[in-house]
Structure 1
Amino acid sequence: MEKYVTLAHGAGGQQTSALIHDIFQKYLGNPDFTADDAAVLTSPSGQLAMSTDGFIVSPSFFPGGNIGKLSVCGTVNDLACMGAKPLYMTCAFQIEEGYPLKKLDEVVQSMAKTAKEVGVHFVAGDTKVAGKGQVDGIFITTTGVGQIQPDFHPQGNQAKPGDKILVTGDVGRHGCTILLERNDFQIQTDVTSDCAPLWHTVEAMSQVTKDIHVIRDATRGGVGTVLYEIADESQVGVKIDQEAVPVQNHVKGVCGMLGLEPLYLACEGRMVVIVPAEQAQAILDTLHTLPYSQNAAIIGEVTQDHVGKVVMKTSIGSETLLPSPSGELLPRIC
């Protein structure tokens, strides 16, 4: 007989204790995991990075992952983009009354698996159960703390003319996966989310050179939005080659049918990396040896022209201004 989350699971009594013990502590338990009101942690030397994010993806299960895996990847990748090794995480759950306990078990199990891959510890958490209809199944908020690595300080305002622009893999897959999984368009094709934790990818790049100017994960708004953000923060222009941007054929097909631009579809396991031209090939060669970046590519360069804009060389050789992102591109992708 299938069991479900009830309001009693969020009331603080026996059912709450059982939920914590049977699911959360079972998968997320570690020497730093606390039953007290706050975790007491050892503070590492040097600077820390801290990030928090909420995840309300619909549907919460999708090809390539679920909201649990996504919640760890999202926060870990935000820390990694700042050159920080993830150390500790907290999580807060808002669960709808009637949510299947089996699904909750799967979500938390995937969080534990992803955290173990990265080497990050969950140290505290919170659970709230909302009445039927107040939450769409399950929402998760995660917060992470990481240790900035010595002499490694990528930031969005450090792109310089002459730098090369890389993406760590094919773009647009997560956004396309979520769109298809909702089945609004009745399109049947084989697309899997790129959702992945990328700290080890960043760590490997930093071992090639610490001289990496910008790292940004291309989540909401995709690569196109990230490029516009960097162009604005660094007060530079960006020029990319459409033919050089890796896009899976299934994603190209869906985008062609629906009139979407893959550069504006979300990724959850891809980064935009901006490096000095002389370092670009070594970085690319390293990325090609790693599990989540085997089809990484150099897609363009930073320029002095068209400050704050993104210019794209099209497949027919002409140049056009990539439209500035606006409006609701694709809702609820994270």
Structure 2
Amino acid sequence: MKQITLAHGSGGQAMQQLIGELFMRAFANPLLNEQEDQARIPLQELTAQGDRLAFSTDSYVIDPLFFPGGDIGKLAVCGTANDVAVSGAIPRWLSCGFILEEGLEMATLERIVASMAATAAAAGITIVTGDTKVVPRGAADKVFINTAGIGSIPAGVNWGMRQIAGGRCAAGQRHAGGSWCHHPEPA
């Protein structure tokens, strides 16, 4: 079985191969394909759906990596997108950073990345930038993922902790009644 080695995090040929053959293929999109150290998101795309941004980050460290109904990759996409969506924003872009333990089975990483790609695509979210580090065996527990998400908040939407009161619900709001992965696009 092929495994992650320290060379996959060294910036050399093994790392470039991992990025090109796994991450770039799975998450392929015009912004990521630029292969810069950052995503350059056109302001017009940001403002076309709203007048403000919601921006959140979260880290995922779970065991087991795969569980009934999901895995760490799906959780990373859904969790961060949900954090953005609860503001009323439409989640659009994610970054993802991986901390991989030396010895992690390549098939495990491939399965996680495929899950992230499928989950993001189903939700209309684009993974636009990322980073990968490899730590020595025993310095981490298989794989840690950090994601940051950006979404556009539609004009007039003002959801937040201060708007929540007992006995009230957001029925009739654009995103009410379902998780972000399943809501229809706003009209």
TM-score range, shorter chain: 0.7 to 0.9
1:89 to 90, 94, 117: 94
**Could you say if the C-alpha distance between residues 149 and 13 of structure 1 is closer, same or farther in structure 2, counting changes exceeding 3 Å?**
same
Match of 2:39 in 1: 39
Contact 1:91–1:141 (CA under 8 A) maintained in structure 2: yes
Structure 2 length-normalised TM: 0.87
Match of 1:123 in 2: 128
1:152 to 137, 154, 157: 157
Match of 2:23 in 1: 24
Q: Which has the larger radius of gyration?
A: 1
RMSD: 2.1
Say whether 1:141 aligns with 2:146: yes
Structure 1 length-normalised TM: 0.50
The offset of 1:150, in angstroms, is 2.1
The offset of 1:160, in angstroms, is 3.7
Cα separation, 2, equivalents of 1:72 and 1:115: 6
Question: Structure 2: which 5+ residue stretches go unaligned?
Answer: none
**Could you say if the C-alpha distance between residues 162 and 65 of structure 1 is closer, same or farther in structure 2, counting changes exceeding 3 Å?**
closer
**Could you say if the C-alpha distance between residues 198 and 161 of structure 1 is closer, same or farther in structure 2, counting changes exceeding 3 Å?**
closer
2:104 to 94, 99, 108: 99
Cα separation, 1, equivalents of 2:23 and 2:122: 18
Match of 1:109 in 2: 114
Cα separation, 2, equivalents of 1:90 and 1:67: 15
Match of 1:198 in 2: 180
Identity %: 41
Contact 2:122–2:181 (CA under 8 A) maintained in structure 1: no
Cα separation, 2, equivalents of 1:52 and 1:74: 9
The offset of 1:163, in angstroms, is 2.2
Residue aligned with 1:146, SS: strand
The offset of 1:164, in angstroms, is 4.8
Compare relative contact order (CA 8 Å, sep 6+) and give the higher one, 1 or 2. 2
Cα separation, 2, equivalents of 1:89 and 1:165: 26
Question: Which amino acid in 1 is paired with 2:68?
Answer: P
Residue aligned with 1:157, SS: helix
Contact 1:71–1:140 (CA under 8 A) maintained in structure 2: yes
Match of 1:249 in 2: none
**Could you say if the C-alpha distance between residues 151 and 3 of structure 1 is closer, same or farther in structure 2, counting changes exceeding 3 Å?**
same
Say whether 1:53 aligns with 2:55: no
Residue aligned with 1:126, SS: strand
1:141-190 deviation line (CA, Å, top 9, x unaligned)? 00010000122221111134552589968xxxxxxxxxxxxxxxxxxxxx
Cα separation, 1, equivalents of 2:27 and 2:169: 40
Alignment: residue pair count: 177
Contact 1:80–1:199 (CA under 8 A) maintained in structure 2: no
The offset of 1:26, in angstroms, is 1.0
Cα separation, 2, equivalents of 1:200 and 1:165: 17
Cα separation, 1, equivalents of 2:151 and 2:65: 27
